[in-house]
Structure 1
Amino acid sequence: MVNSYAGYDDAAVAAAGARAGADVVRALYGQRLDRVDKGAGDFATTADLAAEKAILGVLRAARPDDAVVGEEGGEQGARGAARQWLVDPLCGTLNYAVGNMAVAVNVALCGGAAAVADPFSGEVFRTDGEAAAWVRRDGGDDVPLVPTSASGLVDVNLDPPFPNAPGFRAVELLARPEFAAHFRPRVVSTTLALAWVAAGKRAAYVTDGGDLSGSVHFAAGIALCRAAGCVVTGIDGAALGETCGGLVAAADHETHARLVSMLRRSAAVHRVAAVEHVGEA
């Protein structure tokens, strides 16, 4: 049997996997789908499972010696493999289940190439994992990703859990006067927003969380942003995974500095309040 992926580099494999998953997500959109309860209000659908199967088919054919971690299927493939792929077949399942098209399909090689597909716009964002990132629309030519903060739009993830509360609460960021003076908030609840930062459709993206660099949800979007030249750190401005976690991905240094400054001031206010509370007790 001829390997149809012969000669594909990792970026092309990631894009092919993301496209395969996106085709499934698009085909099943609007249908009545079975749900698999994952606890804490979270669930997967038939579309999540089928999309992951399609992506795994591409990765197994193209890179049979690599390991894979899937959002739904967990660790699969060669044990102890030097290379590992991270797969989120449908980021934004809750959106999708109610007919909202704001979803993404994420495929990333740890420390390397990555791709994010938008099943409904036809866009596939990809990077070689180094210093280049592109978007291809409806099978057209690759167009370099050029981040810009011109829109002033900042996506903020308001989904729980909130491990850094009360020092950081995303909703409090939106209420700060200096935020309103420079930005306008958006909430899409999908890591497609990271691809939008890399592509210049958003000025920044902010979310709470632990070390997100190795997350099936975030790895592909983070790789895109870094390759496109965005500024990517934890919510405290430190390198991802170094301290409190979370994520700030900004189109440029000025936008990043403003957001991190606001987040640090909010955290400082909560620290002072906590000390005063202890003193009064």
Structure 2
Amino acid sequence: MTHSYARPDDADVAIAAARAGADVVRGMYGQRLARIDKGAGDFATPADVEAEETIIASIRAARPDDAVLGEEGGRQGPTAAREWLVDPLCGTLNYSVGTMLVAVNVALRNGAAAVADPFSGEVFFTDGETARVRHEGADAQLAPTSTTQLVDMNLDAPFPSAPGFRTVDLLAHPAFAEHFRPRVVSTTLALAWVASGKRAAYVTDGSALHDSVHFAAGIAVCRAAGCVVTGIDGDPIGQASRGLVAAADAETHGLLMSMIRGRGSGGTA
């Protein structure tokens, strides 16, 4: 879905900004970085802050009249119909302990988006209509598939939909073990992997994910690639939806929803 305020080259802006942030993240990797406490066990590092500043500078250079919402700095710039959502380092805990499973997310609300992997060099992106991956100067169309049977799950507490649903409960569901194999990446990079066929699906709980700086870019790429994306209740992603189920195809989505609904209705795992 392309916003009425989108421009043909917004994807280029998203890609450039995500790459700029990824360069910072990669360049600071392995350093002993201070933890900036954000409460409730969450934290940022100087890499998060510097990457966000670099991303915003890149967006500002190309789109000075647009608004920006960053995870670390909040809403910045003019009040505008066009707003960019920035998560400069998704997977901060992974990054802080030397695990190279992180993503840099940049999305124009309801428009172009890019998810950069700082360590593989891949940039997964959409212009709002199609989805591609850029790697080593070449672009390839994303082709989601459930062939891997790997399903990524966000198992982090809290569990806002408990006791009706907890992502962790899927692990004990006999049908899950029959059809899928779990993985835990702990970053929304997994959404880009669903779009590219590296994962069959991704499941997480939570609220207001559609306009989240963490999820907006990954959701946009998945949708443009043709994935099936809903909340854990099966409803379209929106302000009132809960959680996220992004699947490579309708069959995979249907299987996961049958397990989730079974838990929510009191079924046994």
Pick the TM interval, shorter chain: over 0.9
* Deviation, structure 1 residue 219: 0.1
The match for 1:236 is: 233
Is residue 2:92 matched to residue 1:93? yes
* Deviation, structure 1 residue 243: 4.9
The match for 1:53 is: 53
C-alpha distance after superposition, 1:43-67 (max 9, x if no partner): 0001000100110010000000000
Is residue 2:207 matched to residue 1:223? no
> What is the SS of the residue equivalent to 1:208?
strand
* Deviation, structure 1 residue 104: 0.1
The match for 2:17 is: 17
Change in CA separation of 1:65 and 1:214 when aligned onto 2, cut-off 3 Å = same
The match for 2:141 is: 144
Is residue 105–residue 115 contact of structure 2 (8 Å, CA) maintained in 1? yes
The match for 1:133 is: 131
Is residue 2:255 matched to residue 1:258? yes
* Deviation, structure 1 residue 244: 4.7
Is residue 147–residue 200 contact of structure 1 (8 Å, CA) maintained in 2? yes
Is residue 48–residue 89 contact of structure 1 (8 Å, CA) maintained in 2? yes
Structure 1 alignment gaps of length 5 or more: 1-6, 273-281
CA–CA distance in structure 1, aligned partners of residues 64 and 240 of structure 2: 36
Is residue 68–residue 77 contact of structure 2 (8 Å, CA) maintained in 1? yes
Is residue 233–residue 241 contact of structure 2 (8 Å, CA) maintained in 1? yes
Q: Map of 1:107-186 to 2, 5 A cutoff?
A: 107-130=106-129, 132-138=130-136, 140-186=137-183
CA–CA distance in structure 1, aligned partners of residues 171 and 84 of structure 2: 35
Change in CA separation of 1:251 and 1:71 when aligned onto 2, cut-off 3 Å = same
Is residue 225–residue 232 contact of structure 1 (8 Å, CA) maintained in 2? yes
Give the residue type in structure 2 aligned to 1:10: D
Change in CA separation of 1:267 and 1:244 when aligned onto 2, cut-off 3 Å = farther
* Deviation, structure 1 residue 8: 7.5
The share of aligned pairs that are identical, in percent, is 72
> What is the SS of the residue equivalent to 1:235?
coil
Selected match of 1:249 from 239, 246, 251: 246
CA–CA distance in structure 2, aligned partners of residues 262 and 237 of structure 1: 12
> What is the SS of the residue equivalent to 1:209?
strand
Structure 2 alignment gaps of length 5 or more: 1-6
Structure 1 residue runs of 4 or more that deviate by more than 2 Å after TM superposition: 241-244
Q: Map of 1:194-209 to 2, 5 A cutoff?
A: 194-209=191-206
Instruction: Provide the aligned length of Structure 1 versus Structure 2.
Output: 262
Is residue 164–residue 244 contact of structure 1 (8 Å, CA) maintained in 2? no
CA–CA distance in structure 2, aligned partners of residues 38 and 245 of structure 1: 23
Greater alpha carbon shift after TM alignment, 201-210 vs 31-40: 31-40
* Deviation, structure 1 residue 259: 0.2
* Deviation, structure 1 residue 240: 1.1
The match for 1:39 is: 39
Is residue 48–residue 89 contact of structure 2 (8 Å, CA) maintained in 1? yes
Change in CA separation of 1:264 and 1:243 when aligned onto 2, cut-off 3 Å = farther
Give the residue type in structure 1 aligned to 2:231: G
Give the residue type in structure 2 aligned to 1:76: Q
* Deviation, structure 1 residue 251: 0.1
* Deviation, structure 1 residue 211: 2.1
The match for 2:105 is: 106
C-alpha distance after superposition, 1:199-219 (max 9, x if no partner): 000000000001210000000
CA–CA distance in structure 1, aligned partners of residues 241 and 83 of structure 2: 25
Change in CA separation of 1:46 and 1:242 when aligned onto 2, cut-off 3 Å = closer
| Structure whose alpha-carbon radius of gyration is higher | 1
C-alpha distance after superposition, 1:164-191 (max 9, x if no partner): 0111111111110100000000001100
The match for 2:207 is: 210
* Deviation, structure 1 residue 237: 0.9
Give the residue type in structure 2 aligned to 1:18: A
> What is the SS of the residue equivalent to 1:181?
helix
* Deviation, structure 1 residue 100: 0.4
